[in-house]
């Protein structure tokens, strides 16, 4: 890890202030001590059942949100009335959902980050990290990586995908391999990833706030009682009735234009402006 460089995310003007280690691109020195091991070497399968049915905290795995309460994800209850066959997921344990989506071609692995145990469908795989083998936080990252899912894909039989659900057998899943660096490196990877995710979240929050400010300023600008008004035809060329093709949006002599979608409710929305070459397409183009 001697060649890891220190950078300060605090240099960016957001509320996040962290110093994190980021490996230089193209460097392979920091891979020293990494091992490629089967999943079964670092985790243990969990098969605790909700035998008495007392736990009604039904969880589901979302590719976007992780392991969350089912009632907050679906508009109606989709769990079976009899949940005695459901697996119990203790805090810190993992769940693998074999359901596929555009953002999760081979399913999703999520961890129970809450303080309360929940239950999941028996279609899910539940497991926990072996003591001292790997950091749970690192495992969650590694088990959602292209490397792990690429290894899993190589284990699957042809035709293993059906109706959005992978037909993954337990043996195949636990035989898939995961990259395992030394524990200090695992910790640094988790810290780096967490800091970057916080930075992204902070920037998203700032962008949303600035968008609201911009919208308010535009609304105030165009609703001002002191502002002069005039027919749009005096300032714009109004062109109707033709739809432009994609090739008419590129080139050296393109100009922005407004559509009906940009106007409405007393506001002017310029977040989705289109461009076109001069020459008579439907829209509103400013006069030069």
Report the distance separating Cα 269 and Cα 267, nearest Å: 6
Query: Which has the minimum average pLDDT: 61-65, 140-144, 202-206, 281-285?
Result: 281-285
Are the C-beta atoms of 98 and 152 separated by less than 8 Å? no
127 SS3 class: strand
Higher pLDDT, 262 or 148: 148
Q: Is the pLDDT of residue 228 over 90?
A: no
Residue 252's alpha-carbon distances to 247, 273, 277, in angstroms, are 12, 17, 8
Helix (H) or strand (E) holding 211: helix 183-222
Q: Going from the N-terminus, what domains does the chain have, and what CATH number goes with each?
A: 1-28+190-225 (no CATH), 35-180 (3.90.220.20), 233-286 (no CATH)
Question: Could you tell me how many residues make up the chain?
Answer: 288
Helix (H) or strand (E) holding 154: helix 146-155
Report the distance separating Cα 155 and Cα 124, nearest Å: 18
User: Which pLDDT tens digit goes with each residue over 146-202?
Assistant: 999 999 988 887 555 655 678 889 999 999 999 999 999 999 999 999 999 999 999
Q: Strand 19-22 relative to strand 35-38: parallel, antiparallel, unpaired?
A: unpaired
Q: Is the pLDDT of residue 66 over 60?
A: yes
Q: Which of 280, 267, 283, 279 is nearest to 218 (CA)?
A: 267
Transcribe 24-53 into DSSP letters.
PTT--GGGTT-EEEEGGGTEEE---B-TT-
pLDDT of residue 73: 65
Q: Is the pLDDT of residue 43 over 60?
A: yes
Residue 83's alpha-carbon distances to 51, 68, 94, in angstroms, are 8, 17, 19
For the chain, the distance separating the N- and C-terminal CA atoms, rounded to the nearest angstrom, is 59
Are the C-beta atoms of 161 and 100 separated by less than 8 Å? yes
For 129, the token pair is 């990290």
* pLDDT tier for residue 103 given thresholds of 50, 70 and 90: confident
Q: Is the pLDDT of residue 214 over 90?
A: no
């Amino acid at each position: 890890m001697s060649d890891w460089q220190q950078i300060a995310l605090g240099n960016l003007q957001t509320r996040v202030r962290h110093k994190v280690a980021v490996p230089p691109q193209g460097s392979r020195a920091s891979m020293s001590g990494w091992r490629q091991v089967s999943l079964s070497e670092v985790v243990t399968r969990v098969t605790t059942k909700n035998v008495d049915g007392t736990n009604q905290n039904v969880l589901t795995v979302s590719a976007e949100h992780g392991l969350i309460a089912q009632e907050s994800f679906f508009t109606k209850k989709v769990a079976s009335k009899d949940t005695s066959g459901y697996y119990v997921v203790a805090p810190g344990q993992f769940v693998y959902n074999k359901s596929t989506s555009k953002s999760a071609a081979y399913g999703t692995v999520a961890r129970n980050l809450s303080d309360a145990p929940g239950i999941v469908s028996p279609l899910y795989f539940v497991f926990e990290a072996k003591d001292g083998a790997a950091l749970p936080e690192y495992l969650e990252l590694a088990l959602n990586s292209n490397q792990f899912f690429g290894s899993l894909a190589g284990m699957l039989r042809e035709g293993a995908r059906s109706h959005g659900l992978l037909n993954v057998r337990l043996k195949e899943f636990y035989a898939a391999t995961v990259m395992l660096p030394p524990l200090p490196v695992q910790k640094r990877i988790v810290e780096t990833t967490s800091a970057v995710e916080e930075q992204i979240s902070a920037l998203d929050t700032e962008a949303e706030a600035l968008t609201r400010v911009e919208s308010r300023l535009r609304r105030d600008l165009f609703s001002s009682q002191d502002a002069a008004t005039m027919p749009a035809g005096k300032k714009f060329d109004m062109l109707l009735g033709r739809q432009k093709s994609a090739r008419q949006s590129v080139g050296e002599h393109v100009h922005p234009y407004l559509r009906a979608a940009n106007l409405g409710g007393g506001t002017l929305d310029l977040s989705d402006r289109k461009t076109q070459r001069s020459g008579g397409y439907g829209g509103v183009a400013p006069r030069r």
